[in-house]
């Protein structure tokens, strides 16, 4: 038996000097290649190289393919570049395609492609070029995709653009938000005749047109496809429907789906999902469920996207519980959840502020094996920031690799909370993290810097956007313009606005912001120019901005200038200009310029443009208020003719006109009118006009005889009662009080104040005091006006002791008397020369920081004059003159008259000269000039003053005083000191009360009318069995 030694390994043979030829080596490598032992081939080749074994091109080729097949693309590329002779175009195809599909690195693939074509003159296959375009486009790397297209068009390549390339490019540009470039690419390819698009390319084109808002052009494209015999499919109709969904025209969505069904094209899961998503976005979740049920019925299983659309719609409507129910249903159906599904719910609960549920879902997501990405963290942080919990969001952001959205969210939250340290800390974190800002972050940071007042940083960031390869968008410009306008830096705002105008961006918000800013700075003409440009651009006009512009025009200019500016806006177009004119009419009426408003109204009618009911109503109401009745009828006829009697404003104006003309006619008209819309606009206006004209009895008749046809409010009754009291019709006022109580309304302190004022005005002080006493027993709290009215009446009649009692009681009740109450007391005291009491009141005013006015100074001067202390009067006068407080006409008169009495003529002359320079005195002189229809009294007095004829000037001043204050019942100078002791003795008070109090008023709150015209009625006799002297009551 022969002995065979064991075979030696190849490595051992090589070490012993065995040198194989390339042929067996290649055969062995090919054997390994067929077994797909690519790593062994690489290892074996390295052994060959170490032992200097011979190789040939076949060996090198097998190694290159082994590297490619084992996905060692970097080694393969390096090897192929160093052994160009053995490379084949197929190798380059495999390398480039592997980098795209296996390594998912199309950028590296592009680099290899460019080197192979331009440096090595190797032209890969057309499939490789198409694959490159598709992969780059799908990643949104359109710049690189264009480079591949340029390579395809080079002379040495000439690779045709097929439908796969064209559809990929169009879809890619849509993906990066530039569908218009995709459409232009399609046109250029088809115009050169190099492509006849198929349904795939046309579908991509439909998507691009829809994203551009040019959905109307899709109809023409579909007609061309049908003409060319291209079959439409469900994908194209779904893309078309998506366009209508974005435009929120769901009627067209349904129409296109119906058209698809009529052509025999059946729905699939995507088309139904489009319908579900469309109706969900519009908030019609119920309709979405209808399509969902139909989808299931036809055998199409809803997927994750379908349910996610419904959940998103529920969350947007705030129905987070319903969204959560859908989520639970998805789990029951066994649908695999992903992060996006959880994020929808987290966002919904976060917007509502339910963070217990937010963090519960966050934990559930982690338990489900889904690792939360920065997207989920950002949604949680967004919810926290919106609810003022940005600090918590900041802490949460430290648990994740924050991105640009994270920092933008934090900046936005801190800005809303005006947390400057938080903003500065976040900005520092951004710089340390080296985050490249996007436009959104720049916009948020600009807003934050404006809030901080860092205007230089704002400008630097805005100007530095170009260096960061960022282009300002409409939000950037709007934020800059609005920020500068709010701080009054209108020049910088205009500079940014001019830069915005040079761009192709269309934004009504930018125009509205600059118009607002210009209006706030009173620059109405520039605002109008911006408004005209906005209208010319076809953008929507913001109504509040337009209203502000109109108000600015009329506030900052005279009427003529304002109207000139309004007429400049004629270029806005008929509809908008009509709104401008009607608004101008309203603003003119507010200014009281009714004739100008009427003229503009007539101008509109001549041009055939409509006049709004509000415009008619404003003019007519103005004419009714100022008593210009002759101009009412033509306008009222036009108003009635254009709007008819059913229009509430027409009814209101007609009723007002009839009331002012003849109340009886108005009552007949109201008796036939059954339109309760008059309740809001008729009573108060017409009643005020009647009372203003002194027709309080007509107002009384109107509110008491209309029964239920005119819904009169409590305020209207109060207005009429007050008018009757001021007009001296106390009996009617009391009758109306009884009428009000019979309607179940309780009288409040406002009405009691009116009655007390009326009693005081008629001199019925006993009744006023009794009524004041009864108010407190009715659990009503007297107001400051109640006490002030009584104090004024007592001072006017000279009952100073009782006035002081009421004053002290007023203070004890916690009221702070106004300067008018002090003036009443000072005026009464001054007529008796009680200088010490006057100084007590003045000191009290100073202690309580109550600034004296001209009446205060006049009363004090009168007090000095009554005491004969003219030196003190002069010192007091000059003391307050240095504080820019001068007496009124009577204060000057008291001082001049007192100085003349003392023979101090030069001092009287000096005061007279200062009196004639007083603005208040000059206004009174003008009133007297109109009354007496004579030459200028001021000039006459100035002449007397210059000539030293002071005594004659005093005579003239006394005559003026008589004109200003006619004969009155308050003759405190002639009443003597006895009135200061008590108002009435006990016996007089009791007998007078019993004689003037009607029996109908003695039963508590049941108020009746008074038939005795010679007596003044009191409101009630509540809780008092006998009358006492006012000064004897402890309450006073």
Above pLDDT 70, what percent of the chain?
83
DSSP state of 612: P
Task: Evaluate if residue 86 carries a pLDDT over 60.
Answer: yes
Q: Is 295 exposed, middle or buried (0-12, 13-18, 19+ CB in 10 A)?
A: buried
pLDDT in tens, 244-281: 777 677 777 778 877 887 778 877 777 777 777 777 77
Task: Give the tokens for residue 230.
Answer: 């291209």
Q: Which residues contact 675 (CB under 8 A, 6 or more apart)?
A: 646, 648, 651
The model's confidence at residue 550, banded by pLDDT at 50, 70 and 90, is: confident
Residue 690 has a pLDDT of 79
State the helix-helix crossing angle for 543-556 and 508-520, rounded to 10 degrees: 20
Closest CA to 818 of 791, 799, 795, 796: 791
pLDDT in tens, 587-611: 788 878 888 888 888 888 888 888 8
Residue 339 has a pLDDT of 87
Q: How many CB atoms lie within 10 A of CB 908?
A: 24
Q: Which residues contact 99 (CB under 8 A, 6 or more apart)?
A: 73, 105, 106, 108, 109, 112
Above pLDDT 90, what percent of the chain?
1
Whole-Å CA distances, 141 to 172, 201, 465: 8, 19, 22
Task: Evaluate if residue 122 carries a pLDDT over 60.
Answer: yes
Q: Residue ranges per domain, the chain?
A: 1-87
Top pLDDT among 686 and 502 is at 502
Task: Evaluate if residue 467 carries a pLDDT over 70.
Answer: yes
Check: CB of residue 888 under 8 Å from CB of residue 872: no
Task: Evaluate if residue 1030 carries a pLDDT over 50.
Answer: no
Check: CB of residue 215 under 8 Å from CB of residue 243: yes
What's the per-residue H, E or C state across 45-71? HHHHHHCCCCCCHHHHHHHHHHHHHCC
Residue 1 has a pLDDT of 42
What's the per-residue H, E or C state across 788-836? HHHHHHHHHHCCHHHHHHHHHHHHHCCCCCCHHHHHHHHHHHHCCCCHH
Instruction: Please report where in the chains the tokens 């009996």 appear, as a residue.
Output: 731
Closest CA to 108 of 82, 136, 70, 79: 136
CA angle 760, 764, 765 (to 5 degrees): 70
Q: How many CB atoms lie within 10 A of CB 658?
A: 18
Check: CB of residue 204 under 8 Å from CB of residue 167: yes
- Which range among 104-118, 512-526, 843-857 shows the weakest confidence by mean pLDDT? 104-118
CA angle 589, 592, 593 (to 5 degrees): 75
What φ, ψ does residue 372 adopt, rounded to 5°? -60, 130
- Which range among 50-59, 407-416, 445-454 shows the weakest confidence by mean pLDDT? 50-59
**Phi-psi sector, 967: left (phi>0), alpha (psi -120 to 50), beta:** beta
Residue 58 has a pLDDT of 79
> What's the whole-number average pLDDT of the chain?
77
């Amino acid at each position: 038996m022969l002995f065979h030694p064991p075979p030696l390994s190849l490595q051992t043979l090589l070490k012993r000097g065995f040198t194989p030829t390339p042929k067996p080596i290649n055969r062995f490598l090919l054997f390994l290649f067929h077994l797909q032992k690519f790593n062994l081939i690489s290892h074996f080749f390295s052994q060959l190289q170490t032992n200097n074994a011979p190789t040939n091109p076949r060996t090198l080729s097998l190694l290159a393919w082994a590297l490619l097949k084992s996905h060692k693309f970097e080694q393969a590329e390096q090897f192929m570049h160093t052994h160009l002779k053995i490379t084949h175009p197929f190798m380059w195809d495999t390398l480039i395609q592997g980098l795209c599909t296996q390594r998912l690195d199309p950028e590296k693939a592009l680099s290899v492609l460019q080197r192979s074509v331009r440096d090595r003159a190797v032209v890969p296959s057309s499939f490789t070029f198409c694959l490159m375009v598709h992969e780059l486009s799908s990643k949104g790397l359109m710049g690189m995709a264009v480079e591949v297209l340029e390579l395809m068009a080079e002379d040495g390549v000439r690779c045709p653009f097929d439908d796969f390339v064209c559809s990929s490019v169009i879809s890619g540009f849509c993906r990066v938000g530039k569908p218009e470039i995709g459409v232009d690419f399609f046109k250029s390819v088809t115009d050169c005749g190099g492509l006849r698009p198929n349904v795939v390319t046309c579908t991509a084109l439909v998507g691009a047109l829809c994203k551009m808002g040019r959905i109307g052009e899709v109809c023409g494209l579909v007609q061309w496809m049908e003409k060319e015999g291209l079959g439409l499919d469900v994908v194209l109709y779904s893309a078309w429907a998506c366009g209508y969904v974005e435009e929120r025209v769901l009627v067209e969505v349904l129409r296109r789906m119906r058209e698809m069904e009529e052509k025999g094209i059946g729905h699939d899961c995507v088309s139904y999902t489009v319908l579900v998503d469309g109706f969900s976005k519009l908030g019609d979740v119920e309709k979405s469920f209808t399509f969902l049920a139909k989808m299931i019925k036809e055998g199409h299983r809803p997927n994750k996207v379908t349910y996610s659309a419904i959940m998103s719609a529920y969350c947007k409507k705030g129905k987070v519980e319903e969204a959560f129910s859908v989520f639970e249903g998805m789990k029951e159906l066994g649908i695999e959840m992903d992060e996006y599904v959880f994020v929808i719910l987290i966002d919904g609960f976060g917007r509502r502020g339910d963070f217990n549920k937010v963090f519960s879902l966050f934990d559930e997501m982690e338990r489900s094996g889904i690792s939360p990405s920065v997207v989920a963290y950002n949604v949680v942080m967004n919810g926290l920031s919106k609810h003022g919990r940005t600090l918590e969001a900041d802490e949460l952001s430290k648990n994740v690799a924050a991105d640009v959205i994270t920092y933008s969210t934090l900046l936005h939250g801190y800005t809303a909370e005006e947390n400057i340290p938080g903003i500065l800390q976040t900005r520092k974190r951004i710089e340390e993290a080296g985050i490249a800002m996007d436009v959104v972050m720049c916009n948020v940071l600009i807003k934050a810097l404006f809030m901080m007042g860092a205007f230089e940083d704002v400008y630097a960031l805005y100007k530095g956007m170009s260096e960061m390869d960022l282009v300002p968008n409409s939000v950037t410009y709007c934020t800059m313009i609005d920020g500068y306008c709010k701080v009054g830096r209108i020049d910088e705002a205009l500079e940014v606005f001019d830069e915005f105008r040079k761009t192709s961006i269309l934004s009504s918000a930018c125009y509205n912001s600059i118009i607002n800013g210009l209006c706030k700075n009173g620059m109405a003409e520039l605002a109008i120019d911006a408004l005209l440009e906005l209208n010319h651009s076809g953008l929507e006009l913001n109504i509040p901005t337009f209203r502000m512009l109109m108000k600015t025009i009329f506030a900052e200019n005279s009427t003529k200038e304002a109207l000139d500016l309004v007429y400049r806006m004629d270029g806005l177009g008929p509809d908008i200009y009509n709104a401008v004119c009607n608004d101008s009419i309203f603003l003119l009426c507010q200014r009281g310029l009714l004739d100008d408003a009427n003229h503009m109204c007539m101008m509109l009618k001549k041009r055939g443009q409509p006049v709004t009911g509000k415009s008619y109503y404003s003019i007519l109401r103005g004419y009714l208020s100022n008593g210009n009745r002759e101009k009412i009828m033509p306008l009222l006829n036009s108003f009635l003719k254009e709007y008819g009697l059913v229009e509430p404003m027409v009814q209101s104006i007609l009723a007002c006109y009839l009331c002012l003309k003849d109340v009886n006619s108005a009552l007949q008209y109201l008796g036939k009118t059954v339109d309760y819309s008059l309740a809001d606009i008729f009573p108060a206006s017409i009643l005020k006009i009647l009372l203003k004209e002194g027709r309080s009895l007509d107002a009384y008749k109107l509110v008491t005889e209309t029964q239920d046809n005119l819904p009169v409010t409590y305020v209207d009754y109060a207005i009429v009662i007050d008018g009757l009291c001021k007009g001296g019709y106390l009996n009617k006022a009391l009758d109306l009080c009884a009428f009000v109580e019979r309607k179940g309304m309780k009288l409040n302190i406002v009405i009691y104040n009116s009655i007390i004022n009326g009693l005081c005005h008629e001199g019925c002080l006993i009744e006023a005091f009794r009524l004041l006493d009864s108010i407190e027993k009715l659990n009503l709290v007297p107001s400051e006006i109640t006490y002030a009215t009584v104090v004024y009446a007592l001072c006017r009649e000279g009952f100073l002791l009782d006035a002081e009692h009421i004053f002290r009681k007023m203070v004890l009740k916690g009221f702070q008397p106004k300067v008018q109450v002090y003036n009443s007391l000072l005026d009464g005291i001054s007529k008796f020369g009680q200088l010490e009491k006057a100084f007590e009141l003045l000191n009290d005013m100073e202690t309580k920081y109550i600034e004296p006015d001209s009446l205060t100074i006049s009363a004090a001067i009168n007090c000095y004059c009554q005491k004969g202390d003219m030196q003190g009067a002069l010192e007091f006068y000059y003391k307050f003159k240095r504080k820019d407080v001068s007496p009124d006409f009577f204060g000057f008169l008291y001082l001049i008259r007192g100085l003349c009495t003392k023979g101090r003529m030069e001092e009287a002359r000096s005061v007279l000269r200062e009196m004639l320079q007083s603005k208040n005195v000059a206004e009174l002189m003008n009133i007297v000039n109109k009354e007496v229809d004579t030459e200028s009294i001021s000039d006459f007095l100035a002449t007397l003053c210059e000539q030293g004829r002071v005594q004659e000037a005093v005579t003239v001043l006394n005559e003026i005083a008589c004109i200003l204050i006619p004969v009155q019942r308050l003759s405190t100078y002639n009443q003597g000191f006895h009135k200061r002791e008590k108002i009435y003795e006990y016996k007089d008070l009791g007998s007078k009360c019993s004689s003037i109090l009607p029996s109908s008023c003695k039963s508590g709150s049941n108020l009746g009318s008074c038939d005795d015209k010679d007596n003044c009625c009191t409101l009630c006799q509540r809780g008092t069995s006998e009358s006492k002297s006012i000064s004897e009551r402890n309450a006073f």
